[in-house]
Amino acid sequence: MTRSLPPHGQTRDEVLTALHAARTEDIDWRDGRLFSLVYSAGPEATVLLQEAYALFLSENALNPGVFPSLRRFEAEVLAMSADLLGGGPSGVVGNMTSGGTESILLAVKTARDWARHHHPERQPPEIVVPASAHPAFDKAGHYFGVQIVRAPIDAGYRADVAAVARALSDRTIMIVASAPSYPHGVVDPVTDLAALAKERGLLCHVDACMGGFMLPFVRRLGYPVPAFDFTVPGVTSLSADLHKYGYAAKGASVILYRDRALRRFQLHAATDWSGGIYASPSLSGSRPGGAIAAAWAIMHFLGEDGYLRAAAAVMESVGRLRQGIAALPELHILGDPDMSLLAIGSQRLDIYEVGDEMTARGWHLDRQQHPPSLHLTISAHHAGMEDLFLADLAAAVVAVRRPGLRRRVVRAALGAASRGARAMPAPWLSALTGRARALLGGDGSLPARTAPLYGMLATLPNRGDIRELVLDLVEGFTTLPDRPDREG
């Protein structure tokens, strides 16, 4: 563990050896056993991204006047994105950002400032989002003083238009729809939600962070895809992540607006600073040239046919997985996903235990709640693992159906703990903290068995306890251990 700057610089070889060694502790996602966080269009695409990123490693898009290359790349990435998303020559404008969260933060900040100008009486402003909308909206509300009102979703896990209508108040400024939602992969009824927004004079943001660079190609392949983009009247802004199904390097997303007048509320300029006149479009000041150049590069490398090929491979994997899961009577897919995000639930089994059995077999599935399910995001690099996955899933189901003695003991012990969770002693809590890492996607030291933990978290009487527990974890991620970690 390094706790202070090395007194003398190390050689390039020493540093690289250390980096490579550290990396061996990470999950190797290339074998298709990890179902979130990483999107890859294959080894050739990865090498191109590395080269493109490296070429513009030091360049800073904070001042595009100095780097006309970056200025053009960003403008072209935005034009290509708008064209793909129904905003061709219609006046749609936008910016590149560091990711979906920044795009959503900006959409919410823009809506807030639009409302301050046009509807100053709406205080505090409210944004109505479906229950399934990404937590980035809560984060944005938290940062910018906007109330996020969550409306229940329907039995198919899509936004319920009537419930959204009921959630509107005289302080509402915007309605949100997801295309698709992360948890269940279904596209909300964007046409109806945008029509509702239009009728009430509200803004409507479509969170197409997942679908923006996938759904247009899925549709061209002949799959039914509901309307979700700027072709829908009433949609005023849209976020789409290049670093997901755009297959770009991390740190690339777009936020698009129907017109310049709305985007104007996003921009910031400081004109009286002693350092000179300073203007910036997004949250970041300095902006990595590499992320912009790599996004531009991958869009040109793949082109329309490349994205179509990738989407076809993904949808074929999805088809096989859905078919295989349907053949397991204990399991089912939640709702009817429109794309390549699947949630697996069970009426009869503890689905978290199925998740543990899959972890024991080397698969990494995210756990979801309300209702409990396992989550899969299928990307181009998952092609070919379907049979292996389905065989292990079937075996996992069998294992959970016939629990061994050891698991029954663990379950009984943690069942007792859950009843006492509220008054949990500190050492217990820290032990739990070690285990709860998996909750946030983990740091590589994923515990083999998390089902009891999730069951326990679900039974904690006070959601605030969970929040504190999770924030403890977040703090822990940037702290070096005092002593060797005995949890791992």
Ligand X SMILES: *Cc1c(COP(=O)(O)O)cnc(C)c1O
Name the site residues for ligand X (rule: CB under 6 A): 99-101, 104, 134, 136, 178, 182, 207, 209-210, 241, 253
How far is the C-alpha of 38 from the C-alpha of 250, rounded, in Å? Answer: 9
Amino acid symbol at 322:
R
- Please report how close the Cβ of residue 253 comes to ligand X at its closest, in angstroms: 6
- In the bound complex, what is the minimum distance in angstroms from residue 203's beta carbon to ligand X? 17
Q: Under a CB-based contact definition with an 8 Å cutoff, are residues 292 and 112 in contact?
A: no
- What six digits make up the tokens of 196? 């509702």
User: Based on CB atoms, which residue is closest to ligand X, 238 or 344?
Assistant: 238
Smallest gap from Cβ 207 to ligand X, in A, equals 5
Minimum Å distance from CB 241 to ligand X? 5
Q: Which is nearer to ligand X, 196 or 214 (CB)?
A: 214
Half-sphere exposure at residue 205, Cβ-oriented, CA atoms within 13 angstroms: 30
Element (H, E) at 73: helix 68-84
E-state strands within 133-186:
147-151, 172-178
Torsion angle, CA of 266/246/65/289, rounded to 10 degrees?
110
| 104/331 with CB nearer ligand X | 104
Q: Which residue is nearest to ligand X (CB)?
A: 100
Question: Hey, what are 373's tokens?
Answer: 């399910």
Does residue 36 sit in helix, strand or coil?
coil
CA nearest 216: which of 88, 336, 333, 44?
88
Nearer to ligand X, 239 or 346 (CB): 239
Whose Cβ is closer to ligand X: residue 318's or residue 354's? 318
Q: How far apart are CA 239 and CA 246, in angstroms?
A: 13
Comparing CB distances to ligand X, the nearer of 67 and 217 is 217
CB count in 10 Å sphere of residue 424: 18
Q: How far is the CB of 114 from ligand X (least distance, A)?
A: 21
Q: Which is nearer to ligand X, 101 or 317 (CB)?
A: 101
In the complex, what is the shortest distance from the CB of residue 318 to ligand X, in angstroms, rounded to a whole number? 16
Cβ of residue 101: shortest distance to ligand X, in angstroms? 3
From residue 481, how far is each of 3, 296, 458 by CA, in Å?
11, 41, 28
